[in-house]
């Protein structure tokens, strides 16, 4: 007998337990999610495609297997949606662009979609994003801006804009985003949800449209840390279809998620990460540090140079990927994206080579730092979500372009592929802020353990926005 739970607002773990225990049918959950999307998404603009028929058919098939005694999987009946640069069979992979929507529909789902569905989750659609993932704002001239559920006049952050907006609006409990320079962590901060940028190479990117191959990551966004762990575990594992995917076996994090801090050595990033932002951004870090009794301050060496080098590599690799499109269809790009790509195409090769050499040094220097600490705390963004359409903001008394500078604190971290749990902090009744819980390579378990402690303390949380 089905319970009267509002399954349209339930978290992934609760849904999977309900379906697995026979308290609710997967079809009931999916119908509730589709109804909520239809009612609320016009005000949020998180979805570009809703795969209702596919989702209902998948739910019916799951219910039939469950009735026949087949275990339905750890994500049984969980509705999820993916950034539209991840292949969904039957849909053109837009990557937020005008040009890509003319491509033939994908003939196969991306690898992570297949892995989530193998665990029982059900795809309900594809999500809005910044064009070709070269964006931190959530503004898209082709599909319209994503709007922040906690304040529709404000940015969601990007480029995984629809992924953050859909979570904050309670449209689905699980989304996938991509993160090259901060595109999971920025919308997690602006929209007030949890996100995981795994170690570079940890989760396969096969079946996704690239931006910067040497920096691209895929990862989950949710409203709870347990849901992050649940989804992350389902997606782990080697994949020969992604040349940079690790050969390491899956290392599940869910069994140890509640093991607490133990003797973890936690520090706050100082220096570069303690200036160049609004006071509230640093106050959020201090709230988290106090909750964890973290008093040590460390300085990540040459973080400013790391950000500059990441910028050069991003511009050069991104431009190389799009060079033919820039030559033949420049008018079909968002002008802001087009101009940045053209600038990248004009970078002298020695600049990029020097950035890559620095990258090797920086990776070693940060590895040395992690010999003495296990976790480093840093702000996710320099400010709360700016108003949509705002082009400049003032940081430390200097007027700077918004689009280019939202990622000042995320770029030095993804530059060398460190794993990060992004956690949302609410200082007052206003918009949320974000904190990065940064761990050593391959230690997603450590970052998520710390995030889980913060969640249980009530220091971080991801409420559904109160939408009419």
Task: Say how far apart CA 138 and CA 183 lie, in whole Å.
Answer: 10
Mean pLDDT of the chain: 97
What percent of the chain is predicted at pLDDT more than 70? 99
Determine if the pTM surpasses 0.95. Answer: yes
Residues 289 and 261 sit within 8 Å (Cβ to Cβ): no
Distances (CA, A) of 227 to 11, 158, 222, 444: 7, 21, 6, 14
Q: In the predicted model, is pLDDT for residue 275 greater than 60?
A: yes
pLDDT at residue 396, rounded to an integer: 87
Q: In the predicted model, is pLDDT for residue 25 greater than 80?
A: yes
| Unique residue bearing structure tokens 């898209």 | 140
Give the torsion through C-alpha atoms of 183, 188, 189, 194, to 10 deg: -140
What number of residues does the chain have? Answer: 468
Q: In the predicted model, is pLDDT for residue 48 greater than 80?
A: yes
Task: List, by residue number, the catalytic residues.
Answer: 83, 159, 183
- The answer for 132, left when phi > 0, alpha when psi is -120 to 50, beta otherwise, is left
pLDDT at residue 34, rounded to an integer: 98
Supply angle C-alpha 29, 31, 32, rounded to 5: 65
Q: In the predicted model, is pLDDT for residue 403 greater than 50?
A: yes
Cα 228 → chain centroid: 11
Task: Say how far apart CA 152 and CA 191 lie, in whole Å.
Answer: 11
- Phi, psi torsion values for 296, nearest 5 degrees: -75, 140
Q: In the predicted model, is pLDDT for residue 1 greater than 70?
A: no
Q: In the predicted model, is pLDDT for residue 365 greater than 60?
A: yes
Q: In the predicted model, is pLDDT for residue 3 greater than 70?
A: no
Q: In the predicted model, is pLDDT for residue 212 greater than 50?
A: yes
pLDDT at residue 131, rounded to an integer: 98
pLDDT at residue 468, rounded to an integer: 46
Concatenate the DSSP letters of all residues of 30-95 into one string. HHHHHHHHHHHHHHH--EEEE-HHHHHHHHHHHHHHHHTT----TTTT-EEEEETTB--TTS---T
User: In DSSP terms, which residues pair with 217 in a beta bridge?
Assistant: 179
Q: Judging by DSSP bridges, how do beta strands 296-298 and 375-379 pair with one another?
A: unpaired
Residues 105 and 91 sit within 8 Å (Cβ to Cβ): yes
pLDDT at residue 5, rounded to an integer: 82
- Produce one character per residue of 330-347: b if its CB has 16 or more CB atoms within 10 Å, e if not: eeebbebbbebbbebeeb
Distances (CA, A) of 215 to 45, 183, 193, 265, 413: 27, 11, 23, 27, 10
């Amino acid at each position: 007998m089905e319970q009267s739970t509002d399954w349209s607002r339930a978290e992934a773990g609760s849904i999977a337990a309900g379906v697995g225990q026979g308290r609710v049918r997967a079809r009931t959950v999916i119908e509730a999610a589709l109804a909520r999307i239809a009612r609320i998404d016009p005000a949020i603009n998180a979805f570009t495609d809703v795969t209702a028929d596919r989702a209902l058919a998948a739910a019916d098939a799951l219910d039939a297997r469950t009735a026949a005694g087949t275990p339905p999987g750890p994500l049984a009946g969980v509705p999820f949606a993916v950034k539209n640069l991840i292949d969904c069979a039957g849909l053109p992979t837009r990557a937020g662009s005008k040009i890509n929507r003319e491509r033939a529909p994908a003939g196969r789902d991306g690898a992570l979609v297949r892995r989530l569905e193998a665990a029982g989750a059900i795809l309900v659609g594809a999500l809005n994003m910044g064009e070709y993932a070269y964006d931190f704002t959530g503004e898209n001239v082709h599909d319209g801006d994503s709007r922040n559920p906690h304040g529709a006049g404000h940015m969601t952050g990007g480029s995984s804009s629809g992924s953050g907006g859909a979570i904050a609006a309670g449209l689905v409990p699980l989304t996938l985003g991509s993160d090259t320079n901060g595109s999971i962590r920025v919308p997690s901060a602006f929209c007030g949800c949890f996100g995981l940028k795994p170690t570079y190479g940890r989760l396969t990117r096969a079946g996704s449209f690239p931006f910067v191959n040497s920096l691209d990551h895929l990862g989950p966004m949710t409203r709870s840390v347990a849901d992050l762990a649940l989804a992350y575990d389902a997606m782990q594992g080697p994949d020969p279809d992604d040349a940079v995917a690790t050969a390491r076996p899956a290392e599940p994090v869910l069994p140890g998620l509640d093991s607490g801090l133990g003797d973890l050595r936690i520090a706050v990033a100082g220096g570069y990460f303690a200036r160049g932002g609004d006071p509230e951004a640093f106050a959020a870090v201090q709230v988290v540090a106090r909750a964890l009794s973290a008093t040590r301050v460390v300085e990540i060496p040459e973080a400013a140079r790391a950000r500059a080098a990441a910028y050069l590599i991003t511009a050069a690799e991104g431009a190389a990927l799009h060079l033919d499109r820039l030559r033949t269809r420049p008018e079909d790009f968002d002008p802001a994206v087009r101009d940045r790509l053209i600038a990248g195409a004009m970078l002298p090769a020695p600049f990029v080579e020097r950035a890559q050499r620095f990258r090797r040094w920086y990776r070693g220097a940060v590895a040395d730092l992690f010999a003495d600490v296990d976790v480093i705390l840093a702000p996710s963004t320099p400010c709360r979500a700016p108003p949509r359409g705002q082009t400049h903001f003032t940081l430390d008394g200097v007027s700077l372009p918004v689009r280019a500078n939202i990622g000042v604190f995320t770029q030095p971290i993804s530059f060398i592929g460190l794993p990060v749990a992004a956690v949302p902090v609410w200082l007052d009744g206003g918009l949320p802020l974000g904190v990065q819980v940064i761990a050593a390579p391959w230690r997603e378990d450590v970052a998520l353990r710390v995030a889980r402690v913060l969640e249980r303390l009530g220091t971080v949380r991801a409420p559904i926005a109160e939408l009419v």
